[in-house]
Structure 1
Amino acid sequence: MAIEYIEGDLIASAEEVVIHGCNTRGGFDTGFAGVVRKRHPAALNAYMENHKNGGLVLGSVIWAFDGRLIGNALTQPTYGRGGKHVSYEAVKSCMLAIEDAARNGIPGTKFAGGFSRVAMPLIGSDRGGGDWDEIESIIESTLKSVKTVVYVLPGHRPSAAVLSSRPRR
């Protein structure tokens, strides 16, 4: 399914299911994770609990619910400024897990019956250092049953308008 691009603040939006990329080293402080940390402490707590128990497995998704469903997608084995940290294989594995959750639900949440829409930032392409064209292709080939919306902050390059208007592969 083709991705819809929206220029705006994902955390300030009314989106009910939000996915973002995380690393497997226990760093949840900067980038989009830093924003999630402040606004959705349940997502941070779920991530840190898994980290404490040795459960930050590359390619998996840690779910948390606190009014909205947050998917901490473990797409990066490392983190830092500069360089490539994202794993395309991990992105694919996470997207397949999200597809499964969309179809089969997240027990104990209002999404126990699944969901039909997910929203995310330009996952893995900013701090993760990945190529958005490659990540976009992975998302579009794996998230078949959910509408995927990608939020781009105003003034970010590429803009939502540029991403929406370019030819698809």
Structure 2
Amino acid sequence: MSEITYIRGDATAPSGKGAKVIAHVCNDLGGWGKGFVLALSRRWPEPEKAYRAWHRDRAKNDFGLGAVQLIQVDRYLWVANMIGQHGTRTGSKGVPVRYEAIDRALTKLADEAIERSASVHMPRIGCGLAGGKWPRVEPLIAERLVARHIPVTVYSYGEEAPF
């Protein structure tokens, strides 16, 4: 089984050849405006537009924890909006990250990546504003993606602590 590759760089500019999916975690409230999504929106308007429409029409679709939406932003590049956090703030019920939802989303993402013969690129999903811990997320990526022989690259950017 291959390993997760860790590099310092920008996950919105994935390295390597071939088809690629940029995966990230979104909330279940329809909010888009802090964290990694800002970097995505600076590069492409489509992921935000698609996410907002998906949330707006949620009564008629699969929007909810564990769901995944793939948006093509270039010929061989997609962005995966994965619903893996409940709300946006830490409160009496803890941090917003929902590991079980990330696990379900990664399972769906694996099928999509295999269908496209794509590698997966991401920041440390669920570990920024969602409040998750990488030692809980990393095994999910290994089980759902790496175990299915999907190449995964995780990016550390700017002032963020190295791996």
Q: What is the TM-score normalised by the length of structure 2?
A: 0.85
The aligned residue for residue 141 of structure 2 is 139
Alpha-carbon separation, structure 2, partners of 1:12 and 1:3 = 17
Give identity over the alignment, percent.
30
The aligned residue for residue 9 of structure 2 is 8
The aligned residue for residue 73 of structure 2 is 66
Is 1:125 the counterpart of 2:127? The answer is yes
Residue ranges of structure 2 left out of the alignment (5+ in a row): none
Q: CA deviation at 1:124?
A: 0.3
Distance 1:50 1:139, change over 3 A: same
The aligned residue for residue 57 of structure 1 is 64
Q: Deviations over 1:42-94 (max 9, x none)?
A: 11111011111014211011111121200001111111378511100001001
SS at match of 2:65: coil
Q: Tell me the C-alpha RMSD between the 2 structures.
A: 1.7
Q: Tell me which moved more, 116-125 or 76-85.
A: 76-85
The aligned residue for residue 35 of structure 2 is 31
Is 1:116 the counterpart of 2:125? The answer is no
Q: CA deviation at 1:37?
A: 2.0
Alpha-carbon separation, structure 2, partners of 1:19 and 1:115 = 15
Residue ranges of structure 1 left out of the alignment (5+ in a row): 106-113, 164-169
- Equivalent pair of 1:22/1:76 in contact (CA under 8 Å): yes
The aligned residue for residue 87 of structure 1 is 98
